[in-house]
């Protein structure tokens, strides 16, 4: 707005300056015509004196009557330019009446220098007007014509008064435009701020909505644009009304999504709960059949063992799904002191029994590290991480488990020297049914729920888990709070590399 007003002000001021300049030049040209032909009273009307008065003539021997002080009247013979007569009109004391006590003045000349004379002689004698610079005498508007006696007569008027007028007008116009810009800018700030205040309220509502967690759980989109800012007759009101309509649609979609999620979770929980009984029966009957005293063929015995093995595997899958469903439903976990050091020792002992061909190492502090949580679930976290390392690394791989206690959190690292996890798989490693078959070798089957259970249990304990993997080293980091949840650091705040313990 200020730029536009400045352009308009310059345009208006420049136009006024040009018009004024043209008018002033027209006035000077009229004076030149009058001085060149004194017989015309105002430059256009013939001299009309009364009685015996005669029209004044151009005087070649001195300043013409009525010549302005500071103007130039001159004449020269084209055949002999050295006979140049004339100069700058000035006032000189009169010598005709020495007895008078009053001071009388007459018009006189100030002689021009040779450079000024040469400049005037070079002026065209066709009566046209032009500007000349006469050095120390200043700038003049000049015209030249042929006189009746064959001489060239010259009249010039100073341009300094015109330049002063133009400068004063430009100065006043510029000052007025500048003051107008300051006032317009000051007023514009208040006007624009007042006009955009409803838009800021709309933006504030959108900002509060953007800070809400919309990815899980029950979402209440109670934020709405105030009714005063939803007037459809204004642009801001249209934006506010559109935002409210958008929030209504999003709220309905989130409610539908949550209802669908709850149905799926309830179905998984119910199905898992109901499947445990028939699976236990299948395992029981298979085991009972194998223990029967009646002789059975070797083929039937193998079939029964496979039935029992798959039933046991399916039971584990159902238990994992049931646990995830309970965690998703927000079932409270135990809040008991848990010796994390002894828990890790027991989990590593179990892993050593399950994978004797791996090298298992412990890196523990001298003092026990105790956290508050559910001991069974935390044991499952460490056991799942160790099972993941055993399953997806070749035999002979070294797996190190370290425990450290920080100021506000306990940190567990599970480090293995396996082939690593593909970079494109790492962002999805904790998702359900995620598998790393293409990047890590497998010695046994996997349900794809182990690491998702780790993530769910750690999150339920208000902690976090992360993974960093390169070929030759994979590090799983579990952070569990020793203090309130808002003081627990994220895995990104921990050192980015973990040196392998001996």
- Position 269 scores a pLDDT of 66
Residues 400 and 375 in one domain: yes
227, part of any domain = no
How many domains is the chain built from?
3
476: helix, strand or coil: strand
Whether the pLDDT of residue 338 is over 80: the answer is yes
Q: 267 and 370: one domain? A: no
Give pLDDT, residue 215: 67
- Are residue 310 and residue 364 in the same domain, yes or no? no
* The pLDDT of residue 147 is above 50: yes
* Helices and strands: H and E segment counts in the chain: 8, 13
Q: Are 301 and 345 in the same domain? A: no
pLDDT at position 20: 93
**Residue 407, in any domain of the structure:** yes
- What is the arithmetic mean of pLDDT over 488-495? 41
- Kindly state whether residues 349 and 482 are assigned to the same domain: yes
Q: How confident is the model at residue 336 (pLDDT cuts 50, 70, 90)?
A: confident
Which residues have CB under 8 Å from 369's CB, separation 6+?
Answer: 339, 340, 341, 403, 404, 405, 410
Asked if 477 and 465 count as a contact pair (C-beta separation under 8 A), the reply is yes
pLDDT, greater one: 487 or 404: 404
- Which of 89-98, 209-218, 246-255 bottoms out in mean pLDDT, i.e. has the lowest? 89-98
Average pLDDT, the chain: 78
Same domain, 99 and 144: yes
Are 358 and 402 within one domain?
yes
- pLDDT at residue 423, as a whole number: 85
In a domain, 222, yes or no: no
**Based on the domain organization, do 281 and 356 belong to the same domain?**
no
Confidence of residue 491 (pLDDT cuts 50, 70, 90): very low
Confirm whether 376 is domain-assigned: yes
Which domain-ending residue is among 113, 145, 164? 164
- Is 365 among the domain residues? yes
Residue 475 phi/psi, 5-degree rounding, is -125, 120
- What is the span of the domain harbouring residue 415? 336-493
In a domain, 113, yes or no: yes
**In this predicted model, which residue has the larger pLDDT, 420 or 288?**
420
Report the distance separating Cα 266 and Cα 270, nearest Å. Answer: 6
How far apart (Å, rounded) are the C-alpha atoms in residues 311 and 318? 10
Among 211-220, 300-309, 311-320, 404-413, the range with the most confident prediction by mean pLDDT is: 404-413
Pair (124, 245) in one structural domain: no
124: left (phi over 0), alpha (psi -120 to 50) or beta: beta
Biggest CA-to-CA distance, the chain: 171
**Is position 501 within any domain?**
no
Which of the residue ranges 52-61, 290-299, 333-342, 471-480 has the most confident prediction, judged by mean pLDDT? 471-480
Are 378 and 473 in a shared domain?
yes
Q: Which of 147, 164, 181 is the last residue of a domain?
A: 164
Task: Please state, for a pLDDT cut of 70, what percent of the chain lies above it.
Answer: 75
Residue 314 forms part of a structural domain = yes
pLDDT (0 to 100) of residue 287: 73
Predicted confidence at residue 60, as pLDDT, reads 54
Do 303 and 267 share a structural domain?
yes
> Do residues 92 and 106 touch, judged by C-beta distance below 8 A?
yes
Domain stop point among 104, 139, 164:
164
Q: Say which residue, 372 or 100, is predicted with more confidence.
A: 372
Q: What is the CATH number of the domain that holds 384?
A: 3.30.565.10
Confidence of residue 169 (pLDDT cuts 50, 70, 90): very high
pLDDT in tens, 105-145: 556 678 788 888 888 888 888 888 899 998 888 899 999 88
Q: Supply the pLDDT for residue 170.
A: 92
Question: 367 and 252 in one domain?
Answer: no
Q: 399 has which bridge partners?
A: 360, 416
Residue 332 has pLDDT above 80, yes or no: no
């Amino acid at each position: 707005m200020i730029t536009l007003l400045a352009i308009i002000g310059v345009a208006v001021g420049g136009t006024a300056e040009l018009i004024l300049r043209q008018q002033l030049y027209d006035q000077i040209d009229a004076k030149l015509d009058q001085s060149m032909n004194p017989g015309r009273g105002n430059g256009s009307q013939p001299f009309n004196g009364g009685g015996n008065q005669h029209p004044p003539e151009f005087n070649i021997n001195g300043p013409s009557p009525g010549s302005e002080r500071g103007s130039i009247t001159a004449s020269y013979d084209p055949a002999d330019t050295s006979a140049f007569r004339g100069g700058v009109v000035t006032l000189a004391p009169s010598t005709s009446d020495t007895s008078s006590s009053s001071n009388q003045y007459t018009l006189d000349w100030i002689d021009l220098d040779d450079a000024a004379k040469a400049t005037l002689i070079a002026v065209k004698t066709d009566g046209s007007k032009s500007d000349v610079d006469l050095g120390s005498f200043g700038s003049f508007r000049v015209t030249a014509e042929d006189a009746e006696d064959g001489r060239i007569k010259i009249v010039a008027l100073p341009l300094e008064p015109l330049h002063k007028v133009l400068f004063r007008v430009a100065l006043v116009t510029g000052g007025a435009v500048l003051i107008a810009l300051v006032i317009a800018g000051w007023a514009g700030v208040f006007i624009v701020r007042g006009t955009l205040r409803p838009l800021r309220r709309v933006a504030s509502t959108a900002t509060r909505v953007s800070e809400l967690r919309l990815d899980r759980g029950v979402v209440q989109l109670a934020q709405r644009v105030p009714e005063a800012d939803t007037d459809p007759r204004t642009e801001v009101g249209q934006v506010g009304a559109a935002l409210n309509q958008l929030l209504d649609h999003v709220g309905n979609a989130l409610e539908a999504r949550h209802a669908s999620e709850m149905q799926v979770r309830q179905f998984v929980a119910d199905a898992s709960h109901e499947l445990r009984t028939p699976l236990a029966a299948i395992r029981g009957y298979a085991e009972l059949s194998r223990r029967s005293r009646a002789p059975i063929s070797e083929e039937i015995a193998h079939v029964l063992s496979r039935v029992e093995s798959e039933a046991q595997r399916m039971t584990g899958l159902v238990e994992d799904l049931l646990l995830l469903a309970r965690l998703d439903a927000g079932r409270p976990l135990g809040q008991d002191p848990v010796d994390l050091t002894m828990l890790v020792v027991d989990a590593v002992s179990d892993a050593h029994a399950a994978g004797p061909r791996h090298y298992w190492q412990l890196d523990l502090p001298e003092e026990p590290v105790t956290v508050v949580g559910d001991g069974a679930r935390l044991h499952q976290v460490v056991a799942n991480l160790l099972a993941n390392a055993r399953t997806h690394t070749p035999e002979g791989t070294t797996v190190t488990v370290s425990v450290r206690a920080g100021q506000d959190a306990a940190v567990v690292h599970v480090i293995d020297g396996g082939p690593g996890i593909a970079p494109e798989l790492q962002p999805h490693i904790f998702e359900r049914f995620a598998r790393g078959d293409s990047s890590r070798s497998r010695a046994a089957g996997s349900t794809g729920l182990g690491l998702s259970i780790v993530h769910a249990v750690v999150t339920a304990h208000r902690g976090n888990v992360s993974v960093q993997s390169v070929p030759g080293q994979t590090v799983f980091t579990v952070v569990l709070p020793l203090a309130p949840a808002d003081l627990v650091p994220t895995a990104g705040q921990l050192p980015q590399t973990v040196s392998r313990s001996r």
